[in-house]
């Protein structure tokens, strides 16, 4: 037994901190502890009724077999139509691949793009899986720090400083997790011009496209001109917009040769994704969009309330997020202080104190590359938000 060693690759993978904290909060809940969880990375709504019905119909009518590795033609056509209607993008079904969630599409993108040592620029804070996608594909993540003062956006000169001959791609996530930052048209134009000038691929993760506030409109960078479209891989899915996280359907759109390579890769790794979910996703994309708007409007109200509460507290502050369903809260002023004899030296310590002493679960910012922040999810009811914020307020009154 002793001679069996895991691969170096396996030894270096860290588990998804966001998923493991959510799991431990759930464990405490099951033991009867009244936990307020601000950890959810998914809508707290059920999949809309007509999409549920589509899933049932698929099972009953025998849509239960393997599909083509890249996804059913019907779903890929529906995705083309969605990209045309919502984003002004023209793709053919051969330029689309359906995967088991956007996460799977993103994983596959880097597997087919990167050679050992290829560099991928990742703005910080980042969604927790981005650096792992790159390292698992043999690439090197290059971190581009962003600041609250600049709305967590980066400038082209900052990007320029990190660009090398090995720079293969940059990850763009707008609306973003964890900051809720939305890149406006001007930001996107500048980035597109830079990427085209240097031949850098833009991996554009648009999974939170539909959850955007203050009257803003999502623009896909790929839609700006034909040159940037050639260089962009658009990644999206049904998880967040249609409350379908467990159905596991995401997709990528891009150059046919890249998509073909992803399909070949996927055909050996996972075959096609779930036929039933593909059928239901087709209905999600082509059916009524009313439930999406209802959910978005509800998230907007929760965001307003939570941001107001956070900013009324001592030591904590946040920008009002423009999209997604997360509040990126600075704990900078708390670092070095004490609560009940425990020194707050990191986001992990503060998250631990919060769950143990206040029974509020949050994700430490270190999971996103920033140790002086925590992430609160407002994908939970207003009542829970109120209760959780009351508890945090009480705990902060004990800071020394
Ligand atoms: C930024 C970002 N991209 C992608 C995903 C993954 O989405 P999916 O459920 O479609 O795999 C998430 C989920 O948390 C996310 O936050």
Please report, to the nearest 10 degrees, the dihedral formed by the alpha carbons of residues 345, 349, 350, 351 taken in order: 150
Residue whose CA lies nearest to ligand 1 atom number 7: 102
SS3 177: coil
Q: Are 182 and 218 in contact (CB under 8 A)?
A: yes
For residues 59 and 162, state if they share a domain: yes
Q: How confident is the model at residue 14 (pLDDT cuts 50, 70, 90)?
A: confident
- Name every residue whose Cβ is closer than 8 Å to that of residue 366 and which is 6 or more positions away in sequence: 17, 346, 347, 348
Using the 3D structure, point to which of 253, 286, 319 is the last residue of a domain.
286
For residue 24, give the CATH number of its domain: 3.90.1150.10
* Closest residue by Cα to residue 97 from 223, 272, 284: 272
For residues 108 and 133, state if they share a domain: yes
For residues 280 and 345, state if they share a domain: no
pLDDT at residue number 45: 95
> Ligand 1 within 6 A of 250 CB?
yes
> Ligand 1 within 6 A of 129 CB?
no
Cα 22 off chain centre by? 15
Task: Tell me, yes or no, whether 3 lies in a domain.
Answer: no
Atom of ligand 1 nearest to the CA of 106: 4
pLDDT at 22 over 80: no
pLDDT at 396 over 80: yes
For residues 212 and 238, state if they share a domain: yes
For residue 218, give the CATH number of its domain: 3.40.640.10
Maximal CA-CA distance, the chain: 64
For residues 108 and 13, state if they share a domain: no
How far does the centroid of ligand 1 lie from the alpha carbon of residue 103, in Å?
Answer: 6
Q: Are 138 and 110 in contact (CB under 8 A)?
A: no
Residue 167: both structure tokens together = 């720079």
The tally of domains found in the chain comes to 2
Q: How far apart are CA 57 and CA 164, in angstroms?
A: 52
For residues 188 and 263, state if they share a domain: yes
pLDDT at residue number 1: 56
How far does the centroid of ligand 1 lie from the alpha carbon of residue 207, in Å?
Answer: 6
For residues 110 and 237, state if they share a domain: yes
- Tell the residue number behind the tokens 């030296």, with chain if given: 345
How many other C-beta atoms can be found within 10 angstroms of the C-beta atom of residue 22?
19
Q: How confident is the model at residue 2 (pLDDT cuts 50, 70, 90)?
A: low
Q: Which domain range does residue 309 map to?
A: 8-46+291-396
pLDDT at 98 over 70: yes
pLDDT at residue number 164: 98
> Ligand 1 within 6 A of 223 CB?
no
For residues 281 and 328, state if they share a domain: no
Q: How far apart are CA 258 and CA 261, in angstroms?
A: 5
Task: Tell me, yes or no, whether 201 lies in a domain.
Answer: yes
pLDDT at residue number 252: 98
Q: How confident is the model at residue 17 (pLDDT cuts 50, 70, 90)?
A: confident
Mean pLDDT of 150-175: 97
* Closest residue by Cα to residue 260 from 140, 116, 108, 388: 108
Output the DSSP codes for 185-254.
HHHHHHHHHHHHHHT-EEEEE-TTTT-B-TT-----GGGS-HHHHHHEEEEEESTTTTT-GGG--EEEE-
For residues 71 and 166, state if they share a domain: yes
Task: Tell me, yes or no, whether 1 lies in a domain.
Answer: no
* DSSP-derived pairing of the beta strands 119-124 and 167-173: parallel
- CA dihedral (69, 73, 77, 79) positive or negative: negative
Q: How far apart are CA 25 and CA 38, in angstroms?
A: 10
Lowest mean pLDDT, pick from 25-29, 104-108, 319-323:
25-29
Lowest mean pLDDT, pick from 12-16, 101-105, 176-180, 227-231:
12-16
pLDDT at residue number 25: 84
Using the 3D structure, point to which of 240, 270, 286 is the last residue of a domain.
286
pLDDT at residue number 242: 98
pLDDT at residue number 28: 86
How far does the centroid of ligand 1 lie from the alpha carbon of residue 97, in Å?
Answer: 16
- Cβ-based burial of 42 (10 A; exposed 0-12, middle 13-18, buried ≥19): middle
* DSSP-derived pairing of the beta strands 201-205 and 373-377: unpaired
Q: How confident is the model at residue 10 (pLDDT cuts 50, 70, 90)?
A: confident
pLDDT at 18 over 80: no
- CA dihedral (129, 221, 260, 164) positive or negative: negative
**pLDDT tens digits, 248-260:** 999 999 999 999 9
**pLDDT tens digits, 114-142:** 999 999 999 999 999 999 999 999 999 99
**pLDDT tens digits, 35-89:** 999 998 899 999 999 999 999 999 999 999 999 999 999 999 999 999 999 999 9
Residue to mutate (ligand 1; options 44, 103, 123, 324; most atoms within 8 A of CB): 103
pLDDT at residue number 290: 97
Task: Tell me, yes or no, whether 159 lies in a domain.
Answer: yes
Mean pLDDT of 211-220: 97
pLDDT at residue number 383: 97
Q: Are 318 and 327 in contact (CB under 8 A)?
A: yes
SS3 331: coil
Q: How confident is the model at residue 27 (pLDDT cuts 50, 70, 90)?
A: confident
Task: Tell me, yes or no, whether 239 lies in a domain.
Answer: yes
For residues 239 and 383, state if they share a domain: no
pLDDT at residue number 36: 96
For residues 76 and 139, state if they share a domain: yes
pTM: 0.96
For residues 57 and 184, state if they share a domain: yes
Output the DSSP codes for 35-99.
PEE---SS-SSPPPHHHHHHHHHHHHTT--S---TT--HHHHHHHHHHHHHHH-----GGGEEEE
Using the 3D structure, point to which of 221, 255, 286 is the last residue of a domain.
286
Residue whose CA lies nearest to ligand 1 atom number 6: 103
How far does the centroid of ligand 1 lie from the alpha carbon of residue 211, in Å?
Answer: 13
Q: How confident is the model at residue 342 (pLDDT cuts 50, 70, 90)?
A: very high
Task: Tell me, yes or no, whether 353 lies in a domain.
Answer: yes
């Amino acid at each position: 037994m002793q001679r069996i060693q895991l691969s170096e690759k396996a030894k270096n993978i860290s588990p998804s901190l966001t998923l493991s904290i959510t799991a431990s909060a759930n464990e405490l809940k099951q033991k009867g502890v009244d936990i307020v969880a601000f950890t959810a990375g998914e809508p707290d709504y059920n999949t809309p009724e007509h999409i549920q019905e589509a899933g049932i119909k698929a099972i009953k009518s025998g849509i239960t077999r393997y599909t083509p590795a890249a996804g059913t033609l019907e779903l890929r056509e529906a995705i083309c139509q969605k990209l045309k209607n919502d984003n002004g993008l023209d793709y053919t079904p051969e330029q689309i691949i359906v995967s088991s969630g956007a996460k799977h599409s993103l994983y596959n993108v880097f597997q087919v793009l990167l050679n050992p040592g290829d560099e991928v620029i990742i703005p910080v804070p980042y969604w927790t899986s981005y650096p792992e996608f790159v390292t698992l594909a043999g690439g090197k993540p290059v971190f581009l720090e962003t600041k609250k003062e600049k709305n967590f956006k980066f400038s082209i000169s900052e990007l320029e400083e990190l660009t090398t001959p090995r720079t293969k791609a940059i990850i763009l996530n707008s609306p973003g997790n964890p900051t809720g930052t939305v890149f406006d048209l001007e930001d996107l134009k500048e980035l597109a011009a830079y990427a085209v000038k240097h031949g850098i691929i833009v991996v554009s993760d648009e999974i939170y496209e539909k959850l955007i506030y203050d009257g803003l409109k999502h623009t896909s960078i790929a839609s700006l001109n034909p040159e940037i479209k050639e260089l962009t891989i658009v990644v999206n899915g049904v998880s967040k917009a249609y409350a379908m996280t467990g159905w596991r359907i995401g997709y990528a759109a891009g150059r046919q040769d890249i998509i073909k390579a992803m399909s070949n890769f996927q055909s050996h790794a996972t075959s096609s994704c779930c036929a039933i979910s593909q059928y239901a996703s087709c209905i999600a994309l082509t059916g009524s969009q009313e439930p999406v708007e209802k959910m978005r409007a509800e998230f907007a109200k929760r965001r307003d309330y939570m941001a107001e509460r956070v900013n009324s507290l001592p030591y904590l502050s946040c920008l009002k997020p423009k999209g997604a369903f997360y509040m990126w809260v600075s704990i900078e002023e708390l670092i070095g202080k004490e609560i009940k004899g425990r020194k707050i030296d990191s986001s992990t310590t503060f998250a631990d104190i919060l769950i143990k002493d206040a029974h509020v679960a949050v994700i430490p910012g270190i999971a996103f590359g920033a140790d002086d922040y925590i992430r609160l999810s407002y994908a939970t009811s207003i009542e829970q938000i109120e209760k959780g914020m009351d508890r945090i307020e009480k705990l902060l009154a004990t800071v020394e």
